[in-house]
Structure 1
Amino acid sequence: MVRVQKINDVGDAGNLVRNFEHVRRSDGALVGGKNSSLGEMITALGEKGIAVPPGFATTSQAYWHYVDTNGIRKKIAALITDWQEGKSTLAETGHAVRNLFLHGTWPADAADAIKSSYRELSAKSGIENLSVAVRSSATAEDLPDASFAGQQESYLNISGEDALLDACRRCYASLFTDRAISYRKAKGFDHMSKGFVLATGLSIGDAAVSGRICLVKNAKDIDNFVDGSILVTKATDPDWIPVMKRAAAIITDHGGRTSHAAIVSRELSLPAIVGTGNSTYVLHTGQDVTVSCAEGDNGFVYSGISDITTQTVDLTKLPEKTVEAATRMVVSFMVALLEFDIGWFGCWPSR
């Protein structure tokens, strides 16, 4: 059994707020999809005279800084656990978690960073106490099978530093609206680590690994692959096998459980996540990530290096009924594979 512990480190104050002008597409794990796209647009289109609204983003580090300063991380986890175990209703859980955020206080460095950025934005626009919109920009949004559309709240016409801090606090709290909690459960997301999901797809295997991305979009660029890296590409075919043997893990945009990448990954005992839809867009060479196939049918790519531990289970110590059930599952799976092979090749056993 593999456990992946997502480590949410908080950096210095400079990593708490980012001006859009200093944000790029590769910063999605830090500021979310909307913000990273706005930053990329400002860079790409600003020089061509196309106006893109200015602004700034609070980072995922600022969020965890707020959570830990107010000591609510374990409280949130306990409330979610009670709901999952049927000890409380969804409405009760959502209300309780949101109150933890709404009654919290801002860390001084985060509050100063937000107010300073707001003053700079107001000065740039020439309007004192500029009215702004405060919106969520989740780092796990707009994934192929999980858009997170409309899950968090937006606040418009916010004017003044105190009002801005309050709106940001309420935006944090809206991460735990009833609909957002139930949506994450339906999609298989961890309520306490959503801020670090970069991509998700079908998990191949049950292992996890941390390492550095090497993005290779086309077979003609295979020679650029760095041995021991995590291979990210659109899809694979037999030409990719020599590179796949040298990879620590594999992530693809396309493919299912019977795709080439999935089959070869199983043969090589490599963790792989296939069918992400957008990995070649949101991941980039040199990026440190954790690839987790240890959390069920869905595989997750997390930002940063995680602490991975392995637990060995002695099957001889399991209850007899559990072993019998596992044996029946294996036999059923083998029968299913046989039927799949027969159907795939279009032939049947002769009588």
Structure 2
Amino acid sequence: MSKNIIWFNEIGIEDVSEVGGKNASLGEMYRNLTQEGVRVPNGFSVTATAYKYILDHNGLWEKLHAQLDDLDPDNVQQLQERGAACRDLVYHAKIPEDLKNEILQNYAKLKEEYGESLSVAVRSSATAEDSPEASFAGQNETYLHIQNEEELLDSYMRCLASNFTDRSLHYKYDNGFDYYKVYLSAVVMKMVRSDIGASGVMFSLDTETGFRDVVFINAAYGLGENVVLGTIDPDSFYVHKPTFNKGYRAVLKRRLGSKALKMVFAEEAHVSNMAVEYTKNIETTVQERKRFCITDEDVMVLADYAIKVENHYSQKAGFRKPMDMEWAKDGSDGHLYMVQARPETVESRQSGSVLKLYHLKEHGDILTTGRAVGTKIGAGKVHIINDAKEMDQFKAGEVLVADITTPDWEPVMKIASAIVTNKGGRTCHAAIVSRELGLPAVVGAVSATDVLKNGKEVTVSCAEGETGYVYDGKLAFEIQETDLSALPKTKTEVMMNLGDPDIAFSLASLPVDGIGLARMEFIINNDIKVHPMALKHPEKTDDATRKALEQLTDGYDDPETFFVKRLSEGVATIAATVYPKPCVVRMSDFKSNEYASLLGGKFFEPSEDNPMIGFRGAARYAHPAYEEGFALECAAMKRVRDEMGFENVILMIPFCRRVEEGQRVIDTMAKYGLKQGENGLKIYVMCEIPNNVISIDEFSQIFDGFSIGSNDLTQLTLGVDRDSEVVAFDYDERDPGVLKMIEMAVQGAQRNKRHSGICGQAPSDYPEVAEYLVKLGIDSISLNPDSVLSTLPKIVDLEQKLGRSA
């Protein structure tokens, strides 16, 4: 194929050498996926043949060689001077008349399809871009809302000139591309009116952890450049692919971004030197910031697009191929469009068999926080850069701190030990490049350039979940590497204790048989922060509490919906990491003093001298003082299982003192839509009170399984308050009496053909307890994440000695 103009319906992914990666992908989607319901705006490519024709016609090759043959890309001043000279040569070149007429004739054809009022996007498409080894993200220019022939031809030449931007030249050098053999094609396509709608980026995996069972979507009002560059904090959404493919339509997890700016079209194009701007940023309204910029229905359409795009490219490649995509919502017709798709270039290249976990060995004062990019840790001296002109002062190994980064900054980003920016979300430029370079980055740290001081030693940690931390000082950390392919299977199920949804995806590759304990109270305390009864009865609180409640529940229809959605999405996120393996979720087990510390809690909780053995667990659920709160918990768990599709969730009742109390709780759950056995629902009980062990035959008649809570069982067997430091010397899970209680519990469960597991601290802290449990033949041992890899081999060795195998 060697033509100056090729339309999308003639282009496939195999045409990269002629039309560039962006154009090839648009054509691939337009030809193959529009019939499957994926909307792609139509357009055409002005090809690499046309680019070479223009350079030949103007005799530019020799002049470009004179500028670039002896270029040292690491010499920032030389790079800037030579790049500017090259751009000037190309931009001022003459377009041959026959090519000019071809471009304008095809532009007229596009207007015939969409109408005279059509505006177009003119986008650069390099012939080496979007390869599996390099993303070329943001290397070349794009021009939006082009409305006439003069603007079209001008923006086309500006696109060609952008093949020689400083960032593009350095990127070619870094990735071993020949300056003269990367040609520029230009996309001319219908402009999606996202300036009055919304836009963003999405990935068919989690960008930080490589977890492949989700679609990750970022969204903001207006044109998409703000999301890509990181000038705003976008809304974000996750959708779970396996349950979506089964027909469930629910957001797995969401986060409301501030979305302070919206990019729209300018009334007049602004020209400055070699740059031309057809857009401008305006501030969003308070109301826009308080709500999500796209609906849940929009999120489902986008997830459907992402899955179809990934499936298509995977089938074509013969292996699973995660994708990096851009989308736009047209505010005039209300439709969502795919406007770019390329292979994801970082996490998809990671080895699936080697797990690397970064751990801080100490902590310092927290200087600032933001969104974590990646899961690594880095340290060095702070170097704040306020302007690209200062880049030549940056030294290798320093921590780059800036308001935002742009593609021009990549020469210094590649030598930094870590990156921190005031602005941006997890798909902004700084985040994309940091991932590609394998650097930890904290984006959206708001006041980082004010708080952090030049020359100060800091540690940047992205190893603690979705929040990234910048600590004072250079802190010690370790990297734990495990070859997962070398770990054999155990007969005893090894499960994991996990309460924090923010770190769930990073632990998804651990070789566990499920989640043995997901603590609901962790999610309530960290993501909801409000006492359920305060949401149900705000009128029983005071003015200050009601005002705080209003602020917390922004973006939700009402306070109850806020609780149900936040809790269900937190639990579902944890369940997604092991799906379809079991995930045991314990209903809330706050003590009255802990409940009282939640927002509004003091208005609903009694004052108890010893809350550890007071109004907690099962006693609360059917009690008039809390039943309405428990009803909200049940509504959230019903949504997780029935609406979100996580039938792998098993519910567990804590601190159930008597059999009659257990039956009352089961009846109350059924009253609120959680009927035991319906849709495969299993209900376990914590075995943590001596009466649970003594009456295990009777408890077995109403519950489907037991999970031994060694913390409380030790407390109540030995009569030691586990919260008291004074008698801590007498608290020991290895005491013969405690071990005897555990033995009786396991044997009782086996006798009644009920599941037996343990989720207390003991097997994580003491290998000998884990060994004792394996010898008893317990069905599952649930460990803290940091104990899984160290305990697994010991269980394997013990089972081999005992003559057991998986």
TM-score of the two chains, using structure 1 as the length reference: 0.50
Structure number having the greater strand percentage: 2
Structure with higher Rg: it is 2
Structure possessing the higher relative contact order (Cα contacts under 8 Å, 6 or more residues apart): 1
Structure number having the greater helix percentage: 1
